């Protein structure tokens, strides 16, 4: 039987299994295993994870390919321009992971500013001597400014959360676009990047990784942040210069960094493990049962629609 749908994971929930009932030519095998490579020759649909980058050369081996489903909202691991040229549809999972990702960004921000990891480590170490006036004092957020890079659904969802804890919100997305952003509970100004950086006590990244956002926050740009600012990234590694951010952190110019994503993850720069005032998570933005199931459903529905649409 020749393979029509080539997936690298059963995903969360019953949806890939159900798709297999309707398309028996579905096969789940590890990414880049010999069986996966062999399946490319007949595959009409590929299902991959965000940690499984596809190249043009891979897709050259798929003469029948109609659709690629990625279990992520980000599509920076796929050759989009090539897909467009060949009429290969990309199905991703926007919308359903918005709240989970914004929740995680807020979790990082609160954990960082209220020194949650240090407090927990102290309690678990058995060294806690009791309540003290100056024990692990953190930074308050109410009344402070929050700059948000990216005014898409996740940036706006994070803005609502920042607003709810009393922060004053500003956005930036594309240079030159200065129309205010209505984020559902308030309307926030959109600033030029340098102005936003100069004013952000907290900077949270919510833009995709593209040719125009890769390396966007260079050493010079990061240096514009006010002394003691907090940087949160739940978007993608590669948007800011990690070495420069670590230098600014060590010089106490940056107050703290909360990261869910890294350049070259999971092989992170070992300096992160030694860096002070950081909270580091293993790319958990969409990691709730409800969200991952909703992502599976959206992805499998999109694959089915693409295959049926193509054969009708
Ligand atoms: O990072 C997570 C995603 O792109 O879904």
Index of the ligand 1 atom closest to the CA of residue 236: 1
- Residue boundaries of the structural domains of the chain: 5-94+290-311, 98-280
**CATH superfamily of the 98-280 domain:** NAD(P)-binding Rossmann-like Domain (3.40.50.720)
Tell whether the model's pLDDT for residue 164 goes beyond 70: yes
Domain 5-94+290-311 shares a fold with domain 98-280? yes
CA distance 75 to 73: 6
pLDDT tens digits, residue range 83-134? 999 999 999 999 999 999 999 999 999 999 999 999 999 999 999 999 999 9
Q: For residue 236, indicate whether it is catalytic.
A: yes
The β-bridge partners of 217 are 240
Which residues does ligand 1 sit against, CB inside 6 Å?
A: 50, 72-74, 97, 285-286
Q: For residue 115, indicate whether it is catalytic.
A: no
Cα of 52 from ligand 1 centre, angstroms: 12
pLDDT of residue 310: 62
Average predicted confidence (pLDDT) for the chain: 97
ipTM topping 0.95 = yes
Q: Considering only CA atoms, which residue is closest to atom 5 of ligand 1? A: 72
pLDDT of residue 119: 98
In this prediction, residue 290 has a pLDDT band, given cuts at 50, 70 and 90, of very high
Index of the ligand 1 atom closest to the CA of residue 97: 5
Q: For residue 25, indicate whether it is catalytic.
A: no
Residues contacting 218, CB < 8 A, separation 6+: 241, 244
Produce one character per residue of 237-246: b if its CB has 16 or more CB atoms within 10 Å, e if not: bbbbbbebbb
Q: What is the phi-psi region of residue 283: left when phi exceeds 0, alpha when psi lies from -120 to 50, beta otherwise?
A: left
CA distance 68 to 8: 12
Looking at domain 5-94+290-311, does it have CATH number 3.40.50.720?
A: yes
In this prediction, residue 176 has a pLDDT band, given cuts at 50, 70 and 90, of confident
Contact 4, 25 (CB under 8 A): yes
Q: Which of 254, 218, 213 is nearest to 235 (CA)?
A: 213
pLDDT of residue 312: 54
Cα of 266 from ligand 1 centre, angstroms: 14
pLDDT tens digits, residue range 180-219? 999 999 999 999 999 999 999 999 999 999 999 999 999 9
pLDDT of residue 110: 98
pLDDT of residue 294: 98
């Amino acid at each position: 039987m020749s393979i029509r749908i080539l997936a690298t994971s059963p995903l969360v929930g019953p949806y890939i299994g159900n798709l297999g009932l309707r398309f028996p030519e579905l096969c789940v095998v590890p990414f880049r295993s010999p069986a996966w490579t062999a399946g490319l020759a007949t595959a009409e649909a590929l299902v991959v994870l965000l940690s499984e980058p596809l190249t043009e050369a891979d897709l050259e081996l798929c003469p029948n390919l109609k659709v690629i489903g990625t279990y992520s909202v980000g599509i920076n691991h796929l050759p989009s321009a090539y897909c467009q040229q060949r009429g290969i549809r990309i199905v991703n999972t926007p919308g359903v992971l918005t709240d989970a990702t914004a929740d995680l960004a807020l979790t990082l921000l609160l954990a960082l500013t209220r020194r949650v990891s240090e407090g927990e480590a102290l309690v678990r170490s058995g060294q806690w001597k009791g309540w003290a006036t100056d024990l692990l004092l953190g930074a308050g957020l109410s009344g402070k400014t929050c700059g948000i890079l990216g005014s898409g659904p996740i940036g706006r969802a994070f803005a609502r959360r920042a607003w709810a804890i009393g922060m004053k919100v500003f956005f930036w997305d594309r240079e030159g676009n200065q129309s205010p952003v209505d984020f559902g509970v308030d309307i926030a100004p959109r600033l030029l990047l340098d102005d936003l950086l100069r004013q952000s006590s907290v900077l949270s990244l919510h833009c995709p990784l593209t040719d125009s956002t890769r390396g966007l926050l260079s050493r010079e740009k990061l240096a514009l942040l006010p002394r003691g600012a907090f940087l949160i990234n739940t978007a993608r590694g590669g948007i800011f210069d990690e070495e420069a951010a670590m230098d600014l952190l060590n010089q106490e110019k940056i107050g703290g960094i909360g990261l869910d994503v890294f350049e070259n993850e999971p092989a992170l720069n070992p300096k992160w493990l030694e860096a002070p005032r950081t909270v580091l998570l293993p790319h958990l933005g969409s990691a709730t049962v409800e969200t991952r199931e909703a992502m599976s459903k959206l992805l499998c529905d999109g694959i089915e629609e693409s295959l049926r649409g193509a054969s009708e």
